[in-house]
Structure formats: C-alpha cells, structure tokens
Amino acid sequence: MKLHVIVEKDEAGYYVAEVPALPGCLSQGKTKEETLENIKEAIEGWLEVMESKYTFDQAKVIEVIV
C-alpha cells in the first residue's frame, strides 16, 4: 500500500508527519528517519483500529491488496 505522507518541521525543531488519506493519523520524531518509522507504526495502528470498529460477515469479505 502506498500513502502520501506530509512531513514538516515544527517550531520546537521536531518533524511532524501526517497522512491526509487517514484522518487523525499523525506522528513525530527528532529526525526525518525517526518520524518516518513512527508514522509507519501509526498507519498500522490506525488501520487496525478502524478495521476493529466494524463486524463483517466473513462470507462476504474480500481482501484486496493495493
């Protein structure tokens, strides 16, 4: 899966990352590299939480890989 991530430096000198396609999916770090690792974890957590909010009829579920 490919997602666009916006990384900016804040006033305190930290890097902040946001995923526009996933509302509320944010993270930060002291370096760009740390920030990118942190946002990957945030994306995984965001997807897990959103999926757990819904119950599915497993007979109708189709997994799509993008």
Determine the pLDDT at residue 49: 95
Beta-bridge partners for 29: 15
Determine the pLDDT at residue 55: 83
Indicate the pTM of the whole model. 0.81
Determine the pLDDT at residue 56: 79
What 3-state DSSP class applies to 6?
Answer: strand
Over residues 5-64, the pLDDT tens digits come to 999 999 999 999 999 999 999 999 999 999 999 999 999 999 999 989 888 788 888 888
Determine the pLDDT at residue 61: 86
Residue 15 has phi, psi (to 5 degrees) of: -95, 135
Using CA atoms, how far apart are residues 38 and 41, in angstroms rounded to an integer? 5
Question: Structural domains in the chain?
Answer: 6-60 (3.30.160)
Q: Which residue has the higher pLDDT, 66 or 43?
A: 43
